Amino acid sequence: MHPSLLGLVVLLGLGLCDARAGDNAPDAGGGLPSRGLCAHRGAMSTHPENTLCAFREAIRLGAHMIECDVQLTKDGRLVVMHDPTVNRTTNGKGKVAELTFQELRRLDAGSWKAPAFQGEQIPSLEETLAIMPANIWLNVHLKGDEAAGKQAAEVLVQQDRLQQAFLACNTAAAKGAQAVNPRILICNMERQRDARDYIELTVSRKTAFIQLTGKVSTNFPSYVEELKKHGVRINYFGAVPPEQLRQLFELGIDFPLVNDPAEALKVTATVGIVPVQPVFRRAARTAMPSTAR
């Protein structure tokens, strides 16, 4: 077991966290999963990350949450891309912020992963949301500040996704988003290097989610207890192999981010967490071809 996870298990053995390993009741606010797997950049282990085919595969497998990275292009469009440049995951070069949407669309974002994915495009945020089921969480990791937050919020409102989507972002982006609509859900991504400050800031701002990174201190059990008391859902980001997922759920983590949801789902089945049977809006259902390759 990874040392940080082992430390978490030992600390939370004190009994300060209710694991409820066999309970996967839907969220009281709208039939959304109360806990489960977050497909990090889609099914990125087997498909090109942050592309529609990777998201469709995660949906097909039954992910409870899907994470995507979003940033602005030179001409002000929101596209799904993790890195500040296109160099690693396309056949092009350059910074996303210095390329137009149409320039980005001409790039091949799939063949770097495998020849079968040749021609896969960089999707817009609108396209990505359009294929998503209505009954999973949508973790939109926003790379940008107030302007990006404002624009992302407008898209979420236009697509009627406020009940299931949240922006993982900094304070400036959250301010811009909530100026558009105060109902926008936020995952606080500020001050993550200082665990105590991070917890206190998240609770004080009443954000819906937090993303822990496995950095452990002797105060960790009280942090989890505090977050649970205030209704903050806990995501966990780290290189988590499937065999360690059981420990994460026992710790009280709600949604671990995983790169290989197919393998991870084999583990969650042993703790009573079943795959989501996706419920689509009609337009999304017609846009859901099989992506098994």
Task: Identify which has the larger pLDDT, 222 or 81.
Answer: 81
274, pLDDT greater than 50? yes
Q: List, in order of start, the domains of the chain with CATH numbers.
A: 3-286 (3.20.20.190)
Q: Residues 267-276: what's their mean pLDDT?
A: 94
Pseudo-torsion of CA 80, 84, 88, 90, nearest 10°?
Answer: 50
Distance separating alpha carbons of residues 106 and 93, to the nearest angstrom: 12
Distance separating alpha carbons of residues 54 and 67, to the nearest angstrom: 11
CA distances (Å), origin 74, targets 11, 78, 150, 170, 188 = 47, 10, 16, 21, 26
Distance separating alpha carbons of residues 47 and 259, to the nearest angstrom: 10
Return the DSSP state at 194.
S
| Average pLDDT of the chain, as a whole number | 87
50: left (phi over 0), alpha (psi -120 to 50) or beta: left
Q: Residues 207-213: what's their mean pLDDT?
A: 93
pLDDT value at residue 214: 67
Summarize pLDDT for 23-71 with one digit per residue, the tens.
Answer: 444 453 458 999 999 999 999 999 999 999 999 999 999 999 999 999 9
**How do beta strands 65-72 and 78-80 pair?**
antiparallel
